[in-house]
Amino acid sequence: MNGHEAVIANLERVGDLTELLLARKAVPAVRLNYSIDPETHVGGRGKSRKAVSEKSGAKGSAILRSPHFVKYLKYFLHGPDLPLPSVQGFCKILDDDAGPSGDVQSQIMASVRKDVRSKGLDKRHAADEFFKLAHEAERPDLAENVRSAAMQVK
Amino acid sequence: MSKGDASVTKLIELTEAERTLFDQIVWDLTALT
């Protein structure tokens, strides 16, 4: 099997696994929404990630077997790609939140900036992952702010 | 979701068939070319 054939066979497995997960509704709704909800697609001009993929030619099961889809399956399976202490710190701030919403917003933005800086995270990747984490933590109202906080790191 | 735990980064539970596929997938496509 040459390299191209190996990639095709691998993507076939990615598609097969995704179809099995979707068939038994094993993917958390918040993770599915990331690919199908236009509201979670910053810069998508009102189109979901799925709609953008379809516009570029991929349809139906072919979408699940495109190289671009691998990162979505990883997210479906694992959740946000962040260090565990970052996730725990983020969740603790939300759990401890008892004050005005402005307080938690500034605390969480400061925490995100500190994490990106101190852990040497790629800020663009981290911005997307913290955005997803805010949605998973049922605080979509904070998602844009945490994305911006990660991107602000110099 | 319980915000206090780390459930958001835990691999979702897989069936045996799913686990077999999962174990066979090469996640870094550049490793295949």
Kindly report the length of chain A: 154
Q: What pLDDT, on a 0 to 100 scale, did the predictor assign at position B1?
A: 47
Question: Would the CB atoms of B26 and A10 count as touching at under 8 Å?
Answer: yes
Rounded distance between C-alpha atoms, residue B30 and residue A131, angstroms? 27
For the segment A87-113, the average pLDDT, to the nearest whole number, is 86
The residue behind tokens 């995270």 is: A121
- Which residues 2-41 of A have a C-beta within 8 angstroms of B? 3-4, 6-7, 10, 13-14, 16-17, 20-21, 24, 26-28
Instruction: Give the other-Cβ count within 10 Å of A132's Cβ.
Output: 23
Rounded distance between C-alpha atoms, residue A109 and residue A101, angstroms? 12
Tell me if chain B has a CB within 8 Å of the CB of A84.
yes
Tell me if chain B has a CB within 8 Å of the CB of A136.
yes
SS3 for chain A is: CCHHHHHHHHHHHHHHHHHHHHHCCCCCHHHHHHHHCHHHCCCCCCCCHHHHHHHCCCCHHHHHHCHHHHHHHHHHHHCCCCCHHHHHHHHHHHHHCCCCHHHHHHHHHHHHHHHHHHCCCCHHHHHHHHHHHHHHCCCHHHHHHHHHHHHHCC
- The full set of domain ranges for chain A reads 3-78, 84-152
- Rounded to two decimals, the pTM is 0.83
Q: What pLDDT, on a 0 to 100 scale, did the predictor assign at position A103?
A: 85
More confident residue, A86 or A44: A86
Question: Would the CB atoms of B4 and A28 count as touching at under 8 Å?
Answer: no
Q: What is the residue-level pLDDT of chain B in tens, covering all 33 positions? A: 444 454 566 688 999 999 999 999 999 888 887
Average pLDDT, chain A: 88
Q: What pLDDT, on a 0 to 100 scale, did the predictor assign at position B2?
A: 46
Which residues from chain B sit within 8 angstroms of residue A10, using beta carbons? Answer: 25-26, 29, 32
